[in-house]
Amino acid sequence: MSVALAQPVPALPTGAGWVFEMKVDGHRTVMWRTDGGVRLQARSGRDVTAVWGDLALASLALPPGTVLDGEAVIVTEDGRISFEAAQGRAASSPSRARLLASRRPAHYIVWDALQLPLPFGDVRARPYRERRAALLDVLSALPANSPIQAVSATNDRHMALTWYNTLQGQGVDGLVAKRAASPYRAGRSSAWQKIRHAETVDAEVVGYTGPAARPRALAVQLPDGRTALTQRLATPLAARIGRLLAAAGPGPTGRTSAGLPYTAVPHGTAVVEIAAGTTRHAVVTATRLRGP
């Protein structure tokens, strides 16, 4: 299932017809509740059911035929949504993930419905306002203590900006604005727009230099279409992304837009955040792993 992506913008849109959602900091996950069980899918399409087993178990309470799009998050003891904790869970082995789940159970923050039980079926072509109403109806039937929850949303721009200005310390790292009449369309679209506190953008990893398990630098696809090498990776980041690169296996030699060589990896291996102010230069800075 290819997912919809929001277009980064410097400010929230104005005018009628927009709904604003909190943007929480976790791992993008599509939740499938089929007749035969459950499957959780990362943004790349990779099966991540094993590492989010507690969410898979909770999703059994959904009616078969439900497909949801949202974010798997971890909440710390002080009530803050922690990207680092979610990243640690996503990068762990299944056995380690079970241990982490016993200490800090995950939550699934849902922002859209892609498919619902009959008579609905595939609802991606329906307007966002209709999908949202149907989603809330389905989630209302879940147990009161379910970790599957709808994202907070409002059509009041002033209220949305209040969230943006006051909730960053709790793990709300921005806002997503969606046109109320828009369908769910895979890929990036101006019908979905996002603002974030951090001055970063996401970039797909297309390769690396050095050994796969401890890469020195990453080759990334920049928003303007160019490919560039990052600066030397910090040791913790190199270790985390190295597990994904090693699992992907070596590919052919590629070259950046500046002609520098790197070892290529398959599409969908990983996404990293890069410093937004550096994308006009030949070398960029990777700040953290967003996951595959």
Q: What are the residue numbers of the active site? A: 23
Burial track 145-163 (b if 16+ CB lie within 10 A, e otherwise):
eebbebbbbbeebeebeeb
Contacts of 20 (CB under 8 A, 6+ apart): 12, 153, 154, 155, 156, 157, 159, 160, 163, 175, 176, 177, 178
d(C-alpha 270, C-alpha 24), whole Å: 19
